[in-house]
Structure 1
């Protein structure tokens, strides 16, 4: 796999580059946002530091997501909850705070790759003949990976769509947090994090339908039947 490493600290970049190379990855390291935008299309996954000299890392993340859908992990010293939430909402597949254990980061890279790479035999909505799922005035096209609200398309991040599609494919079931995290993130350990909650909040905010994802308190989530006025019927 070809990795794009966006890191302006030379010592950190050397350590990460060496660890990735030992695992068989080829690495292009850049230290500026402009260079990241120039080379991101050739990357198969991205490690992104947020403390860059020429552009705020969160703004770079948003720009990268407009041109690239490769798996992306934020690796940064920013540990405030607000930063983590903003990073996940902007499209990061995972968020790792410095300092970190190298073995854990490598495991997270493997986990992100497993859940974003096509898997032989994995259920594919296009292959299984799933039809678009409608609930209220929301339509979720599982095969086309699109969401429309009152006929207008709404752009979700890849992970937001994955969560919504998982619920939409099984609309009559209530799914535990652990099951959703294991299926979508490939790691039920993330139940201790806010990743799932952040993406559910993003779905509700972007669609303008707070009832689209129903919270089952103390357990998990289910596809809801949203009211066009923003609530749930």
Structure 2
């Protein structure tokens, strides 16, 4: 394959990935393959701003999907520890998680049992990041609806699960006190806009003397940044208020007009 064709494919993959940014980070779990065997596929997804997790064992992947909140699973039709149909049925008992069943062209019949068990569609192996992202375009609205129904908000590497009152940053669980969790939730709901300090204070505490709530808000912002471990996660727009920061999956991260992280 020529460098020109390879470059064109990479560009199309990045463009397909950018379409998901309005949903926040897209999380894909690949089941039944060793990372070394799908390194190029994972690299292509990562370059498009997608978070990828790979599991050789189907049972280990089931545990991961139960504890976390992936958006899509790419499932090898031929798992080595359990069958792909068993894996799919286990997921379908609790979730509408999209499951793309991966098959070799000469082994297309292998996808049948998993599809009958509730698999979403078929993708070819060896995997192509461009093909997988393109095939997911039709599922974009259903993924957003599933997140909303299950109470998950996502922005960059931040997740908040409203059913379990939990939050994660880059997959790491954040042990947030209630007020910091409420603050993070408010910022996530309003991702992309600057919230005035007065607006945040009223949402968190109701009408109170400005001196009290202003001091408390600054304290909670500082604590939230400390819990996340990234000062840029919550940015101060001087004279206006606060907003969620930009992350590396967003092209605005290099925008000179982006708000500051101080304050």
**Structure holding more helix per residue:** 2
TM-score, scaled to structure 1: 0.44
TM-score, with length taken from structure 2: 0.40
Bigger Cα Rg? 2
